[in-house]
Structure 1
Amino acid sequence: MSDLRINLDDLLHARSVESERIEFKATWAGEVTGYQVLKTICAFANDLRRHGSGYVILGVAEKDGRADLPPRGLSPEQMDAAGRWITGNCRRIVPRYVPRISREEVEGRSILVIWAPASETPPHQAPDGEKGDRKYWVRVDQRTVDAQHNELLTQLLNQSAVVPWDSRAAEAATLDDLSETLVREHLRASGSALVEEPDGRTIYRKMDIVRRINDHEVPRNVGLLFFSREPGRWFPGARIETSILRAGAGGDVLEEKDFRGGLAEQVRGCLAYLRREVIGSAIHKAANGVQASRRPSYPEEALREVLVNALYHRGYDEDSPHTTLVRITSDRIDIRSTPGPVPGVGRDELVRGATPRLAPPRNPRVGELFKEIGLAEKRLTGLDKVYQAMERNGSPPPEFYFDEERTFFQATLRAPAWRSAAAAIREAGELRAVGRSEEALDKLETAWRANRGSLVLAEEFVRQCVASGDLDRAESVVGTNVHLATDIERPDVVVPWLEALVADGQRERAQRFLDGQSSRLSAREAVGAAIVARRLRDADLATRLFDAAGPAILDDPRALLESAQNKLWLAGSAHREGRAGENRLLLEDARTLLERLLGMEATPRRHAWAWRELGRVRRWLREPASAVDEAYANAIRLAPDETKFREERRQR
Structure 2
Amino acid sequence: MADWLEGLITELRKFGSEATRVEVKAAASGLPASARESLAAFCNSPGGGTLILGLDDTPGFRPVGLPDARKLQTDLAAMCRDDLTPPLQPNIFIGEVDGSPVVVAQIVELPREQKPCYITAKGLNRGTYIRVADSDRRLTAEEVHQLIAERGQPVFDTEAVGDAAVADLDGAAVDGYVSRLREQNPRLWANESVETILRMNRVVVPDAAGEYRPSLAGLLSLGHFPQQYFPQLNVTFVHFPTITGESTPSGVRFLDNVSMNGSIPYMAREALAVIQRNMTRRSLITGEGRRDVWEYPPEALREAIVNALVHRDLSPGSRGTQVQIELYPDRLRIQNPGGLFGSLDVNRLGEEGRSSARNSLLLKLLEEVSVPGEDRTVCENRGSGIRAMISSLRRAGMGPPLFKDRVTSFEVLMPNHALLDDETVLWLSTLGREGIRDSQCIALALMRRGEVLDNSKYRAATGVSDSRVAYFELQDLVARELVDQTGSRGGARYTLSEYAKSVGTHEARRRPRPNRRLQIIEALAHLGDLSKAEIAQTIGASEKTAEHWLGRLKRNGEIEVIGGKNRSKNTRYILSQQLRLLLEDAETTGQ
For the aligned pair, the TM-score class normalised by the smaller chain equals 0.3 to 0.5
If asked which structure has higher relative contact order (CA below 8 Å, sep 6+), I would say 2
- TM-score, reference length from structure 1: 0.35
Rg bigger for which structure? 1
Bigger proportion of residues as helix:
1
